[in-house]
Structures are given as C-alpha cells and as structure tokens.
Chains A and B, each alone.
Chain A
C-alpha cells in the first residue's frame, strides 16, 4: 500500500517528530502517516537512531541518587502499568487516530460546517489543532489560504487541487503561499486529517464570518 503514496512528510518534520519537539497535533499527523507509509517509517526510525547515538555519546552524564538502582528495582517489583486497551480495528482510521476518536470511523462525532462538509475537532494540546474533515464526493472546500502551516492527509477517497491529486496516505503541505480549492473525487466521499498551527482563512465573505464559530 505504501508504494502508492506519492506525497510524503518532510525531513524536517520527521526529525522533529523523533526529537519530540512537535506540538501534539503534528505528532498525531506524523504517527498516522507512519502507520500507512513504510518509507517514512524507516526514515523516522533512522532519526531515532540518531537520537540513540547522541544519548550514548552525550559529553556529560549526571549521577543518580545512591539508592536509585534499588528504587528502580522496587518500581519494577510493583509491576508494569496496565496496557491501554487496543481500539477495535477500522479500515479508514489507523491506530493513533482511533485512540483520539475513541473508536473507528463510525464513531466520529461529525459537526456540519455547510455545503455538506463536516468536521470533528480532535482533543490535542494548545499550539496546534487537529481535525477530521468530511467532504462529500465531488464537493469543493471553499477557496482558502493559510496563515501558518497546514498539513492535510487523505484517509478515504481522494481530492485534487491546483497542486496535484491526493489519495489515501498522501499529505499536502500548505503554507502562506498556497491558496487552493480542494475538490473531492466523484467516486467516494473524502475523509481527511488536517492539522494546523494557525486558523484557516477563507476568501469568500460568509465562511470568514462563520470561521470563529467553527473553530477552524
């Protein structure tokens, strides 16, 4: 399946994911893409290896308390934290997303935003936001630009815009310079994960007025 993915994460995002410096919403995007894309997963693991080498060769080390080993063995004797129950499988949502939705695609709590488009905002920490978007087959998102950085990944169906066509697993990276009007393929309803570190701005008047109410 990964052979079909054409639009990948950037090196900068993969390295930041490995270093642990991304906001939660972006971590969710990266983890979801890696679940579908072996190429980026291998790349991310090589950045983890870089982190491991750095840990191994850090110039300074800090001594632990004298009883640290005993304290740790006591922690171990206390038993492992129970594993979180795995979410039931779903053909549309990879595991990291199922954890945030609390189930599969049928459990998403959609809110209509007009023209048949629906969204569901996912609970992530401040600094960036994540949401799922539902675009009916053949429908268009309003023509819009972006204030910060926005990543959109297709989970079901496909969409096309001025740049290219994007299908399951493909990520479109948009910044201030991109104004686009994505249109969903006619063959299926399109579901996407979108994360952004700034609010979306729409070009036509009505969506702009509605924007604060939609939290997008």
Chain B
C-alpha cells in the first residue's frame, strides 16, 4: 500500500517544512487578530474554547448543548462519508460527544483548536468502530507541575488555526478536494487514484502543492 512512497525526497521536504505550518510556543502573530469570522453562521473558534472550559470547570450543560448543536451534525457527516451507516454514525457521534464531555479536562487550547480536538476523537472512534482495531497514540507529553497553558500560547495557536482554515478555503478546488478525500474518505492515495481515475503521480503532486500553499500561507 505504501510502495509508492518516495522516501528520500519527501524526507528532505519534511525537514525543510518542519514547524512551518504549525509552530509550538510561537510568538503572537501580528495583524491577524480578527481572522475568526462568522461567515458560516458559527461562533468563532475562540469561543468554543470557552465552552469546553465551562464544561470542564462547571459541568455546564448549556455550553455542552451549544457545542453539540454545532459539532454533532459535522461529526455525523464525517462518519457517513468515511463509510459508516447512518445508524452507526448516529450512535458513534453521540459517543464522540460524550467523550468530549468526559475528556474536557485533557483539552489543551495551547495545542489544539476545539475543532481539531473533536476531529481527533471522531477519527479514533471511527477506526475503532469500522476497522475494529486499536489506534496507537503517542506517549503523553509531561509538562511539569504547572499544567495551565500560557494565555499568549492559546491566543497564538487559536489564531494560527483560524488562519489555516482561511488558507484551506482559498485552495484551488481540485487540491482541496483531494485533501478532503484523504481525510474524509478513509482513502489512501492509491485508493483515491482508483476512485478518481487520476494517475497516482497527479494525486501526489496535487496534495504536495496544496501543502506547499498552506505552508506558504502560514509564513
């Protein structure tokens, strides 16, 4: 399945691009303070952070209901697109949202947006459900006794994610579509090639182009 990978070249590219798309502990980005927009009728991402913190500290059911109304229909769509039946997806979405409540104390807004966090929970649950396999996760990082992340780091990370979101929206349709297939279709590059009829080389170069554009936009 991965016989097509070109190790030498991609390894070099990965190193060149390290930490460009997403820098940990970066300084606050100037000039992008108003990146969050309500253009899709949703609350800006920063506000979802407050929702999760309210669930964590006060078991706030109102905050949870609002998060649920926003994310549950998206999670369900994601699960159906990646091969679940509607009834499986319904049950699984409820489990994902319940996990969000139970694991609210583990959410670190200096490392992920709420959407990213929900995505990783949904993805892991999907692997569990559809493939009946475990999902090995990296060892937890230990941050030392002060577990509270720095406010500037939170702002910076949340802004960067909003910025990435805008950059993703600005991608040419053909490139964005392939990334979506890779994430939402549960498809390897080879399977995308079979499904779209595009040559494997085209798939790979389009995805590479898309990632280059995103990195460039994040500079």
Contacts and interface: CB of A to CB of B under 8 A. Distances in A.
A211 interface: no
Interface in A165-203: 173, 175-176, 197-198
Nearest to A100: B136
B150 interface: no
B76 A53 contact: no
B40 interface: yes
Contacts of A1: none
A76 B78 CA distance: 22
A8 B115 contact: no
Interface size range of chain A in the complex: 35 or more
B28 interface: no
Q: Specify which of B11, B99, B138, B211 lies most central, judged by the most chain A CB atoms within 10 Å of its CB.
A: B138
Interface string B169-183: 100000000011011
Interface residues of B, number: 90
B216 interface: no
B52 to A, nearest CB: 13
Contacts of B21: 43, 46, 49
Contacts of B208: 11
Given A41-B138, A61-B76, A20 B127 contact: yes
B112 A20 contact: no
Contacts, number: 234
B-side binding surface: helix, strand, loop or mixed?
A: helix
- Per CB-CB distance, the 8 closest pairs between chain A and chain B, nearest first, are A52-B116, A46-B22, A61-B73, A80-B102, A34-B138, A31-B136, A173-B7, A52-B115
A157 interface: no
A128 B3 CA distance: 12
A55 B118 contact: yes
9 contacts: A51-B119, A51-B123, A52-B118, A55-B74, A55-B75, A56-B165, A68-B72, A68-B90, A72-B94
A69 B90 CA distance: 11
Contacts of B15: 8
